[in-house]
Amino acid sequence: MPGDKSISHRSIMLGALAVGETRVTGLLEGEDVLSTAAAMRAMGATITRDEDGMWHVHGVGVGGLLQPQQALDMGNSGTSTRLLMGLVASHPITATFIGDASLSKRPMGRVIDPLSTMGAEFTASPGGRLPLTLRGISPAVPIEYRLPVASAQVKSAILLAGLNTPGITTVIEPIPTRDHSERMLRGFGAELTVEIAADGARVIRVRGEAELKPQTITVPGDPSSAAFFVIAALLVEGSDLVVENVGLNPTRAALFDVLRLMGGSIEELDRRDVGGEPVADLRVRHSALTGIAVDPAVVPSMVDEFPVLFVAAALAKGRTVTTGLEELRVKESDRISAMHAALSLAGATVTETEDGLIIDGTGGDPLPGTPEGQAVVTHLDHRIAMALAVAGLASRQGIEVDDTRPIATSFPVFESLLAQVSGA
Ligand code: S3P
């Protein structure tokens, strides 16, 4: 599996804030991460890739970001946008953020609110959307902020703003989300503590005016990318596939537990540590799946995996019920309604609710597929396109996908890998 997208973004950002050279191997070379790299270059970092695929990042130091001369084009990437807004907020620079049609519909108020409290100023498009201009401030004001929505992007934006803010910046996280920022900030030498409060919330504190030390980083493979191959192997008869280099950070890996509860045969091989994150190879065999009610408590630990889980559910025996998925409506697309429409068109039995989908599976029979001349609509969302490609493997007449270009944002080699393993 190619490198983890979340970890790749963070390695470029923190490398760009350390003084000296950070080296990164296994970086995901998808469009989203390249948007982050371009933005960090525009703010003063030197970032190059050598012939062996190693990335070299020469940072400017915390507090050293330069005024970008042009708008920062974030493409399709919410992670780049929200995390970089955090970085810019506590520097004395002004930056304009722009993005594609999908990103320009996504809510930024969730980061504008806390960063405004720290002293940054925003001029946003209606509804707190892109394009927006952010005037950072130095020194910014440290805050203590309780996350109103379970979002690693919001948490990370505040922690990154805290890096160049005097004193202690605190984020209280009632529901745990992916902890790559915390792990990597510590790895770069920031003073960061995590405490569990009496009510079970995680209290994360970072000391500002930090000095980050350059690192050598190996990015582990992305479990969110592995998800497509794991489910393809579970669904396609005769499959016995080893998916190598799968990150299994507990804040990311709930999908594999859910699939096992549904009867999926997924075996961990060679569990190891890569770049401070747990990793294994997964051996996956075709399995008869049974529908379940997915516990909403696991949603943050598999938030990006629901589109492809819905495909698994559409082929399972019996009913799968998902709830607590409100956040899916503000991803690269409204993933609840996009998957409802796409799976229905492909012949699955799906009901949309406010916060999830209810799916009555075929019990292993292939889906009919899309009717002649009709294609499922991906709405500039890479994960919708890849989920439907997997569904196509488990359909009678195939599934026509309207636009596969968004796949390059997170998984440029997806199509060639899928062709390779499926013998197409
Ligand atoms: C990400 C956090 C998640 C996830 C996104 C990557 C990150 O978003 O959906 O793909 O790298 O922090 P939210 O924080 O909005 O849940």
The pLDDT tens digits for 232-275 are 999 999 999 999 999 999 999 999 999 999 999 999 999 999 98
pLDDT in tens, 2-30: 999 999 999 999 999 999 999 999 999 99
Indicate which residue's Cα is closest to atom 11 of ligand 1: 6
Same domain, 206 and 302: no
Same domain, 81 and 190: yes
Centroid of ligand 1 to alpha carbon of 239 (angstroms) = 31
Mean pLDDT of 173-177: 98
Instruction: Using the 3D structure, point to which of 160, 190, 218 is the last residue of a domain.
Output: 218
- Ligand 1 atom closest to the CA of 152, numbered from 1: 14
Range of the domain at 122: 5-218
pLDDT in tens, 178-199: 999 999 999 999 999 999 999 9
Same domain, 69 and 21: yes
pLDDT in tens, 307-348: 999 999 999 999 999 999 999 999 999 999 999 999 999 999
pLDDT in tens, 85-104: 999 999 999 999 999 999 99
Same domain, 286 and 411: yes
Same domain, 243 and 363: yes
Instruction: Using the 3D structure, point to which of 218, 239, 274 is the last residue of a domain.
Output: 218
Give the pLDDT confidence score for residue 275 in this predicted structure.
87
Same domain, 10 and 147: yes
CATH number of residue 54's parent domain: 3.65.10.10
Same domain, 261 and 308: yes
Same domain, 246 and 371: yes
Give the pLDDT confidence score for residue 143 in this predicted structure.
98
Give the pLDDT confidence score for residue 423 in this predicted structure.
78
What does pLDDT average to over the chain?
A: 98
Indicate which residue's Cα is closest to atom 13 of ligand 1: 151
- Ligand 1 atom closest to the CA of 224, numbered from 1: 10
Q: Find the residues whose C-beta lies inside 6 A of ligand 1.
A: 6, 79, 151-153, 156, 178, 303-304, 327
Ligand 1 probe mutation, 11, 102, 153, most atoms within 8 A of CB: 153
Give the pLDDT confidence score for residue 85 in this predicted structure.
99
Catalytic sites, residue numbers: 304
Centroid of ligand 1 to alpha carbon of 153 (angstroms) = 5
Give the pLDDT confidence score for residue 276 in this predicted structure.
87
The count of domains in the chain is: 2
Indicate which residue's Cα is closest to atom 10 of ligand 1: 304
Q: How confident is the model at residue 424 (pLDDT cuts 50, 70, 90)?
A: low
Ligand 1 probe mutation, 8, 77, 79, most atoms within 8 A of CB: 79
pLDDT in tens, 62-87: 999 999 999 999 999 999 999 999 99
Give the pLDDT confidence score for residue 422 in this predicted structure.
87
Instruction: Using the 3D structure, point to which of 218, 238, 267 is the last residue of a domain.
Output: 218
Q: Is the pLDDT of residue 146 over 70?
A: yes
Q: What is the 3-state secondary structure (H, E, C) of the chain?
A: CCECHHHHHHHHHHHHHCEEEEEEECCCCCHHHHHHHHHHHHCCCEEEECCCCCEEEEEECCCCCCCCCCCEECCCCHHHHHHHHHHHHCCCCEEEEECCCCHHHCCCHHHHHHHHHCCCEEEEECCCEEEEEEECCCCCCCCEEECCCCCHHHHHHHHHHHHCCCCEEEEEECCCCCCHHHHHHHHCCCCEEEEECCCCCEEEEEECCCCCCCCEEECCECHHHHHHHHHHHHHCCCCEEEEEEEECCCCCCHHHHHHHHCCCEEEEEEEEEECCEEEEEEEEECCCCECCECCHHHHHHHCCCHHHHHHHHHHCECEEECCCCHHHHHCCCCHHHHHHHHHHHCCCEEEEECCEEEEECCCCCCECCCCCCCCECCCCCHHHHHHHHHHHHCECCCCCECCCHHHHHCCCCHHHHHHHHHCC
Same domain, 208 and 315: no
Same domain, 120 and 172: yes
Same domain, 211 and 244: no
Same domain, 273 and 392: yes
Centroid of ligand 1 to alpha carbon of 152 (angstroms) = 6
Indicate which residue's Cα is closest to atom 15 of ligand 1: 151
pLDDT in tens, 266-300: 999 999 999 889 999 999 999 999 999 999 999 99
Q: Percent of the chain scored above 70 by pLDDT?
A: 100
Give this prediction's pTM. 0.98
